Copies of this chain bind each other. A is one copy, B any other.
């Protein structure tokens, strides 16, 4: 009898087929694993020690739709708070094709080479549909993903921008507590996602490439006004001349805008992420911006304003959602909208009617 036959016979004696045994084994090992799920306090101390596994676990809790996880996530975040806030938060936007991944990789590697710890997050409310178009594929940042001083996390999924933004804001806190001193938040600018990212960062970078002459055509409203700096990427080879022309046009455009609340005159810079050119110049510019906004106290007051904004925003979003999702209101709203369209009521009379349905 061969060894194999023996084993088979043993199993046959037990009257249990092999696959079932395998199942038994794996279930018991999962149970063991579940038991070893670290406590909240262990997670917090691990995060504070810079443990990436603990950080990832906590972020997964933040992103969870399980109310129990959310309670635990809130406890962890609260305990991390006093260790957070000591970073610089940089928002980066740019349409697909602008070379955002290549840029973030070059920028991130430059920062880690300077001894920085860099976390790269993303806000993409469409990610649940497109299955994570941003950062979903970590191979897009091959070298950065291998860098032990870098942490890359794809966009949380979610159907509402508010939800995605909340999760990202809380992830920032966790990353900061884990010792990341530079937080990069990427967005492709679907819907209002740029505004959301702008409301959670200290510095907002618009990434562009030289276009076909009319540089501002097709730029979404309000983006230019948000930008603290415009970086024209792919300023290399045959593109260089067009990039230089684009720089002139953007500079003129920026000059035409009224002064920003941070009293900073936005700049235009050229770079080539591919050739790793212009990256340090941009970083020096960000440092200059930080000195400027810290000396005029905009940096701190802006963070406080952002906190207040998110508090009120969250409250108001929930008040509206609770109201509009009431079945009674849902049906009545449709009817009132029709009446308005037909010129049979005014928006204010309709609003009054709907609000009275609450009671």
Contacts and interface: CB of A to CB of B under 8 A. Distances in A.
Interface string A333-351: 0001100110111111111
B355 A318 contact: yes
A344 B249 CA distance: 45
A169 interface: yes
A319 interface: yes
B258 A81 contact: no
Contacts of A225: 221
B258 A347 contact: no
A146 interface: no
A216 B256 contact: yes
A309 B350 CA distance: 12
A280 to B, nearest CB: 30
Given A85-B343, A173-B346, A351 B218 contact: no
Interface residues of A, number: 55
A74 interface: yes
A294 interface: no
A225 B348 CA distance: 27
Interface in A306-323: 307-311, 314-316, 318-320, 323
Contact of A81 (B81, B252, B316, B345): B345
Interface string A93-132: 0000000000000000000000000000000000000000
A283 interface: no
A77 interface: yes
Contacts of A153: none
A258 B82 CA distance: 43
A219 interface: yes
Interface in A54-97: 74, 77-78, 81-82, 84-85
Contacts of A52: none
B316 A350 contact: no
Contacts of A82: 343-344
Nearest to A75: B349
Contact of A221 (B253, B258, B348, B351): B258
B350 A311 contact: yes
B258 A218 contact: yes
B308 A348 contact: no
A166 interface: yes
A257 interface: yes
A354 interface: yes
A308 to B, nearest CB: 7
Nearest to A85: B343
A24 interface: no
B258 A256 contact: no
Contacts of A341: 304, 307
Contacts of A323: 315, 319
B349 A77 contact: yes
A315 to B, nearest CB: 5
Contact of A216 (B169, B217, B219, B258): B258
Q: When A and B form their complex, which 5 residue pairs have the shortest distance between CB atoms, in order from nearest?
A: A314-B351, A310-B347, A311-B347, A319-B319, A253-B256
14 contacts: A74-B348, A81-B346, A173-B346, A216-B257, A216-B258, A218-B258, A252-B256, A256-B256, A304-B341, A308-B340, A310-B351, A311-B336, A311-B337, A315-B354
